[in-house]
Amino acid sequence: MIEAVVFDLDGILIDSEHVWDEVRQQLAEERGGRWTETASRDMMGMSSLEWSRYMHEVLGVPMAPEEISALVVERLGERYRRDLPLLPGAVQTVRTLAVRWPLGLASSSNRPVIDLVVEVTGLAPCFRATVSSEEVGRGKPAPDVYLEAARRLDVEPAECAAVEDSTNGIRSAKSAGMLVIVVPRPDFPPTDDSLDLADVELPSLTELPVTLDR
């Protein structure tokens, strides 16, 4: 029986993967690094500590990882304050589910980004727990961020439904022992083998309330 629902952020509530890519690619190129064809997929799901180190070591950005992370977050925040790329039905779905279940957020985004999004959308009161992967030992696909979300919600992981869209996110939630509901993004689709791990696949987030009520 489901006792709580834990959402991913990027790709589930906000259409943000392309914004992260644009900001990180611009920074890499303007600071003398490089951008590769695999950079976007490689960094998807990584914690801020992991992707900033990747940009420094693999993409050759000649800045300390903590400086890379801080500057990316600053620029991303500026973009979000101007135009937050909410996905259709995201706000209403969260508000609908919050009436019945405790909600958590388990995201690879940095803490300032999470706080900004829930503030701008007015969804902060809907989430009893929000966790950034920079607050745990390992980013997705490790289960750490989902396990911490369950701990803060005071619910067993096996009693949580996780709502995900990405390969690493699916693997993370599955490794945590949660029921995995995937809403794939057509522009950043999860791999077939990760989709096989999901318990439920939905074409739209708006179908989530009905699905959980079954």
**What would the two tokens of residue 152 be?**
């803060």
- Rounded Cα distance between 120 and 90, Å, is 13
Is there a catalytic annotation at residue 10?
yes
Task: Measure the N-to-C terminal CA separation of the chain; round to a whole number of Å.
Answer: 11
Spatial CB neighbours of 132, under 8 Å, sequence gap ≥ 6: 47, 48, 107, 108, 109, 110, 111, 114, 145
Is there a catalytic annotation at residue 213?
no
Comparing CA positions, the residue from 17, 205, 214 lying closest to residue 96 is 205
3-state secondary structure of 107: strand
- Rounded Cα distance between 100 and 98, Å, is 5
- Helix or strand holding residue 132 (H, E): strand 127-132
Beta bridge partners of 7: 105, 163
Spatial CB neighbours of 177, under 8 Å, sequence gap ≥ 6: 143, 157, 158
Candidates 10, 15, 144, 165; catalytic one:
10
Candidates 8, 15, 144, 165; catalytic one:
8
Pure H helices in the chain: 17-30, 39-43, 48-57, 65-82, 90-98, 111-121, 144-153, 167-175, 192-195, 208-213
Active site residues: 8, 10
